[in-house]
Amino acid sequence: MLTLKLISEETERVIKGLEKKHFAGAREAIEKVLEYDKLRRESQQKLDSNKQHQNQLSKQIGGLMMEGKKDEAEKVKAEVAELKAADKALQEIMDKAQADMTNELLQIPNIPNDLVPEGKDANDNVVVKEGGPMPNLGDDALCHWDLLKKYHLVDFDMGVKITGAGFPIYVGKMARFQRALEAFFLDEARKAGYLEVQPPYVVNEASGYGTGQLPDKEGQMYHCNLDNLYLIPTAEVPVTNIFRDEILDEKDLPIKRCAYSACFRREAGSYGKDVRGLNRLHQFDKVEIVRIDTPEHSYQSLDEMLAHVEGLVQKLELPYHILRLCGGDMSFTSSICYDFEVWSGAQKRWLEVSSVSNFESYQANRLHCRFRRADTKKTELCHTLNGSALALPRIVAAIIENNQTPEGIRVPKALVPYCGFEMLDDKNFE
């Protein structure tokens, strides 16, 4: 969440940033925070003053008793009792103001970096780079859902039978191909210096609040009511929460972690062409990269993460472009975000396969993730970053469509050593 220091010292910049993100009621929300903070501070000052007065009066009581002035001592005792009663009321006011302020802060999104373009939605995103060879497919090219059915690679109907729509079953070579992609992405991350971890697939409420999925995306997460646990929408949540309530040493930054996980998203409100085949699933696999860094180095880290993801799509021989998201299309928690989209030849549309974001200190403030300066020994909030490297379903969709041939689907050269075959088809693989 935004720091109180930032809101207090740069109020108008914060409001302007929230308006750039099209956050409704930005000024009112910030004014509420400042009002709660004022009430909290005033109550604290009165409480401190009362306690100081109590200490002075308490010292008088002993002296009055020694002088035999019992009645006067009793009056002072009564005054101390009144002050203590007032202390309790002030503490309650202060605690409520703090709770109300924190609750309000949790509802306020991050403000965008100055590099973020103005805009309301995806139509206003800016293409900053593009590359890769566009496929030359004929008019009879099949979309991936037809190819998957033709070669018996994915069973959507069986997934519906077992669970419901959005939970496909990968069969034969496609199951092997999924594992090949996961291994390839993890190996590439390891080569880039990321330490692999294997996180839990369910997290507690504190973890959801720490990375900002709660309360913003509560309706999009699968909730295990009995235990009050949430299925993860991305490995970002458990991996970043490793560093919740931690004070790190500056010399150890940037910290680089990667993780493979299944991801679970309710995707409420999705419909039409966006949910055909593998375009939008409730369960899918993804490799995530996460960095914890210093404020002055985090944008270099962001550039390195973008180069890493770009290298992956290049090795998969996919046409791609990179978008810098406008203020209105950014997530609740990000300060700046770049989306990678690959071209789906048969659908003739771009498919998002990765988001790479710098959250600056927003997540770290919620997580209480700090680092200690090597020179001054002072502690500061870290910057957190993450990115998909990569999400599988739409990558698979684009590979299948763009590489279809009369004999089957050609496997990109980089993946052949991982899966052990050059063509995706319905022939048995031993």
Q: Is 265 annotated as a binding residue?
A: yes
Q: Is 211 annotated as a binding residue?
A: no
Q: Is 353 annotated as a binding residue?
A: yes
Q: Is 355 annotated as a binding residue?
A: yes
Residue 233, both tokens: 């929408």
Could you tell me how far CA 136 lies from the centroid of its own chain? Answer: 37
Q: Are residues 96 and 126 in the same domain?
A: no
Q: Is 234 annotated as a binding residue?
A: yes
Is residue 41, in this structure, part of any structural domain at all?
A: yes
Q: To which residue do tokens 């991050």 refer? A: 110
- pLDDT value of position 429: 54
Is residue 429, in this structure, part of any structural domain at all?
A: no
Q: Is 354 annotated as a binding residue?
A: yes
Is residue 408, in this structure, part of any structural domain at all?
A: yes
Q: Are residues 78 and 127 in the same domain?
A: no
Is residue 111, in this structure, part of any structural domain at all?
A: no
Q: Are residues 13 and 151 in the same domain?
A: no
Q: Is 290 annotated as a binding residue?
A: no
Q: What are the per-10-residue average pLDDT scores of the chain (430 residues)?
A: 96 97 97 96 87 71 67 68 78 93 96 97 97 92 96 96 96 96 98 98 97 84 95 97 98 98 82 80 97 98 98 98 98 97 96 98 98 96 98 98 95 97 81
DSSP letter assigned to residue 272? G
Residue 258 contacts residue 271 (beta carbons within 8 Å): no
Q: Are residues 160 and 184 in the same domain?
A: yes
Residue 335 contacts residue 358 (beta carbons within 8 Å): yes
Q: Are residues 14 and 73 in the same domain?
A: yes
- pLDDT value of position 83: 72
Q: Are residues 68 and 145 in the same domain?
A: no
Q: Are residues 176 and 70 in the same domain?
A: no
Residue 9, both tokens: 């010292």
Residue 366 contacts residue 211 (beta carbons within 8 Å): yes
Is residue 430, in this structure, part of any structural domain at all?
A: no
Q: What is the CATH number of the domain that holds 35?
A: 1.10.287
Is residue 399, in this structure, part of any structural domain at all?
A: yes
Q: Are residues 221 and 353 in the same domain?
A: yes
What is the count of structural domains for the chain? 2
Is residue 153, in this structure, part of any structural domain at all?
A: yes
- pLDDT value of position 59: 67
Q: Are residues 37 and 128 in the same domain?
A: no
- Residue 222: which domain range? 122-424
**pTM of the model as a whole:** 0.92
Q: What is the CATH number of the domain that holds 224?
A: 3.30.930.10
Q: Are residues 360 and 224 in the same domain?
A: yes
Q: Are residues 37 and 181 in the same domain?
A: no
The CA distances from residue 116 to 226, 233, 329, in Å, are 41, 25, 10
Q: Is 386 annotated as a binding residue?
A: yes
Q: Are residues 152 and 279 in the same domain?
A: yes
Residue 353 contacts residue 340 (beta carbons within 8 Å): yes
Task: Give the integer Cα–Cα distance in Å for 215 and 222.
Answer: 13
